[in-house]
Amino acid sequence: MPASSPDLRSSAARAGAAVRWGKANADDVRRELAAQRISEYLQKTLASAPPLTNEQREKLALLLHGSIPSGGAAA
């Protein structure tokens, strides 16, 4: 996914440089980039969607916590 915001482009450049130069913190920088990409995607998606129900929000929160089984249904 192409970086669209200036902050995201900066993070992508930082991650690329960290990986390219074998920096010890490369995994941390890549993890932060992934979190920023997910955050930006969620913000755009939620801005164009109707309001979510509490149950839908809870399912999404569980997904972010890694608590939903691979079948996708909340326990």
Per-residue model confidence as pLDDT tens for the chain (75 residues): 555 789 999 999 999 999 899 999 999 999 999 999 999 999 999 999 999 999 999 999 999 898 776 665 554
pLDDT value of position 71: 63
State the Cα–Cα distance between residues 75 and 47, nearest whole angstrom: 28
> What type of residue is 14?
R
Q: Give the contacts of 17 (CB within 8 A, at least 6 positions apart).
A: 23
- Give the residue extent of every domain in the chain: 6-65
Give the Å distances, CA to CA, from 66 to 5, 73, 75.
27, 12, 12
pLDDT value of position 73: 56
State the Cα–Cα distance between residues 12 and 50, nearest whole angstrom: 31
Q: What is the pTM assigned to this prediction?
A: 0.71
pLDDT value of position 3: 59
